Amino acid sequence: MNPIGRSVFALLSLKEIEKLGLGVSYESGIGCSSIFQLFRLIRHFRFLKRVASLFVGVGKKKLGPAGSRVLVSIKAMDVDGKDCVAFSGKSTIEVSTFGNSSNIAWHNCTVERRDRERLLNQKGCVVWITGLSGSGKSTLACALSHALHAKGKLSYILDGDNCRHGLNCNLGFKGEDRVENIRRIREVAKLFSDAGLICIASLISPFRKDRDACRDLLPQGDFIEVYMDVPLQVCEARDPKGLYKLARAGKITGFTGIDDPYEPPLNAEIVLRQIDGACDPPSVMADKIVSFLERKGYLEAP
């Protein structure tokens, strides 16, 4: 077996595969030291003219945090998609347990994060906007997405309320549910970042440990915490959803800022606050974040 350094699973033409010069081995005991021997083998069985493509899965690599190693198979397909010859490699996938999930293995792909980022001409990251209800998080998120779109940059917003319409619709607002709400969103944010997108998460996220857990999940520098430092009295005066009024009347409990704590960031990358009792327009605040992203190199390919 001639390892190629990374796991490959692709639909290739015969000429493309010929260039790879891969070594392969078969469960049947037939060994091929190069892909050219495989071609001669196929030709011997008079399959060559019928072979339109090959699924190639050859690799020996440390895969993911579990340290799994895998030897997969080569399979030839004819022009109408039916098997014409198949050599099944003996599986040596090592599985592991992660959290409550057992018998799982991490699978890598030849298209990696840097490839996606070069395609998009930007670097993936997470802009995490935190603050009290009514501080303007969702409004800022939309303004930021608009500003990035105008620059030809791809972003996606994970809004706290929007995520509760689907991804987190089975969660309430008790302590454990709020923790799970943040956990799910940070995992999705990580996926968007890995896809090369600028992910904008806008949600109260009142506890430092939950926000710090997201920071720890990402490569250094890829978590950009934006703190909407708007006083409680201003947020309560705005009260766009009428929730402060309900909380003051005791009709809802566990409301952040009233009878549930909010832990402000200690080292946020960006802090947006009132100046002389007035807040900047959303577009101005968004431009400050865009300027930060430009300085840090997130609006260009790596």
Which residues are identified as catalytic? 205
Alpha helices in 170-219 (DSSP H): 175-194, 208-217
CB 130 within 8 A of CB 226: yes
CB 299 within 8 A of CB 154: no
Of 40, 44, 53, nearest to 80 by C-alpha is 53
CB 150 within 8 A of CB 293: no
Structure tokens that stand for 256 in this block: 């952040």
CB 282 within 8 A of CB 272: no
The amino acid that residue 239 corresponds to is: D
DSSP-derived letter for residue 252 is S
Of 192, 129, 201, nearest to 162 by C-alpha is 201
Structure tokens that stand for 198 in this block: 């600028």
Distance CA 211, CA 255 (A): 18
Distance CA 273, CA 246 (A): 26
What is the edge-to-edge ordering of all strands in the sheet holding 125-130? 155-159, 198-202, 125-130, 223-229, 270-273
